[in-house]
Each structure stands twice: as structure tokens, then as C-alpha cells.
Amino acid sequence: MKWRGRRGSRNIEDRRGSRAGAIGGIGGIGLIAVLVIGYFLGIDVSPLLNNQSIGAQSSGSVEITEADQQAGEFVSVTLADTEEVWADLFRTQVGQEYNPVTLVLFKGATTSACGGANGAAGPFYCPLDKKAYLDTEFFTTLSRRLGASGDFAAAYVVAHEVAHHVQDELGILSKANNVRAQSSETQSNAISVQIELQADCFSGIWARQAQAKFGSLERGDIAEAMNAARQIGDDTLQRNAGRRPVPHTFTHGTSEQRQNWFQRGYETGDMRECDTFSARQL
């Protein structure tokens, strides 16, 4: 992905210079964070939390390494690309103005209107404050632990969280989550899958438009995104965690589904083609 030396976004809130304070164990705020992840994150992160504690974080300064700085610049450029792409798409396909998301960068732990956030849990979108949250260390997890390496795999993560904001702007996210709150666990999980697959489809649309508008994609970038979609499918994550896949517990879709919906968005560029809620088959 060609991103160096390009314009960055102004909608970055960088909190990596200091810790947000204690977020506690798995109870209390820590539990809220995990629930938020379950609702809004693009992957089932429970396998990542095995043998890891969500312990208290002490306040104080945090060292920002050169790798941190580079990751922040990468995210800023990717976010700027999403802003231009979605502004155009909202104007041409929706007929309304796009209000861009604010992306919060943190390191270790922070707080959101949806509760506490811990770097071990991964990125998420909070509709209560309309911000996406990302510990850039997750890119290392994505590459080393999940087998999804490459800068465009990381861009896919950013695009997916922005896609949840797009759903929020369209009123889709609130409607879906209202229904989830009144549904059985199995039904709620099924709706969650529809939410996540639509975000994957929107991510594919972004990739198509980013190439058309900026020429930023390089050979192998789409393959990186497709591999990332495969590695974070519910069935693959459960198998890699040593468990037998249990479909009714899926909250984000199988590897095949995630790849298919990303590809649909990329090939069509049409938001109407991302209606997972009306699809006869996911």
C-alpha cells in the first residue's frame, strides 16, 4: 500500500503518551470492555485473551517508539483516505453528508463512552461517542499471532472499524442493536454476524474506491485483506484455539463469509450490494 508522504487525517485523538489509569480486572469496567468488543469489534477476540490478564494499568507516561510513531502515521493516512472515499460515496449513493469518525489511538488502556478499553482486546467502535479505538500494537498481534501480515491487512482493520461508523451514520447500527437487545442469544449472534459482514462489504467498497481515487493499492494488497478476513473468521479462530467450531456462537461470520462479503464490496462498489440483512444466504 502506497501511504508514505501522503496526507493524514485531523480526526486522530492520540492518547498514547499517557495511560488512562486502572481499568480493573475482568469484572466491572473490564467486563464492559469485553462486552463492547463483542458488539462492535470485527473479530472474536476471546482466543486472544486466553492466558492473559486484564489487569490494572498504572497511570504515568508511556514511551512512544519509532514503530509506534510509524503506525500512527499509517493509521492517519488510512483514515484520511476513508474520509474522502465515504464523503464521495455518501454524496453519490446516499444523498447526504458524511460526518467522519474520530479515531482514538491508545497504548495499553484507555476509556470510552462505552467503558474501558484494553489493548489485549483489540480495536472497536463505540456508537455512544462515535469514536473508533485502536491500540496499534494490535497490528503486531494480527501479524504474529493471527497470521495476517502486511500493511493492507492493517488497513482492512481500520476500514472495518470505520465501516461500523458508516453503519451508525446510516442508522443501521442502532436499529440492529435494538433488535439484538430484545432477542435470544442465538438470534442476537446471528444479527451480529450480519452487522460484521456488512462492515466487511463496506471495507471492500473502500478498497475499490481507494484504488480508483488514490492509486494506493499495490500488487498483493487485496490478497492481504482476503487473508486477514480468512484468519479472523469465527470458525478459523475457534479451530486455532483448539475448539470445535459451533455455528450458533458465531458473532462475526465464517472465514468464507468474511472473504465473500469483502470481495462483493470490492467488485461492485455499490452500498446496496452490502445489504446482509436482506440476503437469502450469507
Domain layout of the chain by residue ranges: 12-274
pLDDT of residue 52 exceeding 90, the answer is no
pLDDT confidence of residue 33: 37
The H-or-E segment that residue 118 falls in is: strand 115-118
Q: What cell was used for 77?
A: 493516512
265, exposed or middle or buried, with CB in 10 Å at 0-12, 13-18, 19+? buried
What's the whole-model pTM score? 0.85
Q: Who wins on pLDDT, 82 or 143?
A: 82
How many other C-beta atoms are found inside a 10 Å radius of the C-beta of residue 258? Answer: 32
Dist. CA 128–CA 115, nearest whole Å = 10
pLDDT of residue 116 exceeding 50, the answer is yes
Q: What cell was used for 132?
A: 473508533
Confidence band (pLDDT; 50, 70, 90) for 149?
A: confident
pLDDT confidence of residue 44: 39
pLDDT confidence of residue 150: 84
pLDDT confidence of residue 54: 36
pLDDT of residue 22 exceeding 70, the answer is no
Confidence band (pLDDT; 50, 70, 90) for 61?
A: low
pLDDT confidence of residue 256: 97
How many other C-beta atoms are found inside a 10 Å radius of the C-beta of residue 93? Answer: 14
Q: Who wins on pLDDT, 53 or 143?
A: 143
What value does the mean pLDDT of the chain take?
85
Q: Who wins on pLDDT, 18 or 232?
A: 232
How does pLDDT run across 212-251, given as a tens digit for each residue? 999 999 999 999 999 999 999 999 999 998 999 999 999 9
The H-or-E segment that residue 13 falls in is: strand 12-14
- 204, 240 Cβ separation under 8 angstroms: no
- 238, 47 Cβ separation under 8 angstroms: yes
